Amino acid sequence: MNRLSSSLEDYIEAAYIFEKKNGFSRIKEIADFLNVKLPAVNKAVKELDKRGFLTHQKYGYIRLTSKGKILAESILTIHNMLVRLLKMFDISDFDSNRYACYIEHIIHKNSKDISYIIDYFNSNPSEIKKIKDFIKKRKNENKSCKSK
């Protein structure tokens, strides 16, 4: 089976979020959540249905299959770990989530590497401080260069 595109993974992730909240998701909810048009969601849902990640009856509810839930959970787990990692370095909630959305698609879904990195930094807070200090110094250098 071919690997899913980043956008198809985003549709699975969105469907999972609504399914956890409501027990199902709908085309319009996913479109609004991802800020895309309804035809794009319809096309993606048809593709994901064809590949066995979800089920959808025309004008009906969308429900993830066990295969879809497993993938969605792994994507969200990676996303949440990336957010935790980025926030360790005082990156804003907004930017941490935005960066995690991009990075989550390129990391192997069963990878434990991010959790190992988080464990390392949790065990070595002085390393976090060094990196934060370095980032702060670089930001200050950039500010002084722009003011000249």
Which tokens belong to 59?
């004008």
pLDDT band at 22 (very low <50, low <70, confident <90, very high): very high
Which tokens belong to 17?
């979020």
Q: In the chain, what are the domains?
A: 6-64 (1.10.10.10), 71-146 (1.10.60)
- pLDDT tens across 39-96, in order? 999 999 999 999 999 999 888 899 999 999 999 999 999 999 999 999 999 999 999 9
Coil, strand or helix: which one is 62? strand
Report the sign of the C-alpha dihedral through residues 81, 83, 86, 89, in that order: negative
What is the value of pTM for the model shown?
Answer: 0.83
What are the phi and psi torsion angles at 146 (to 5°)? -75, -30
Which tokens belong to 3?
């690997």
What are the phi and psi torsion angles at 37 (to 5°)? -80, 155
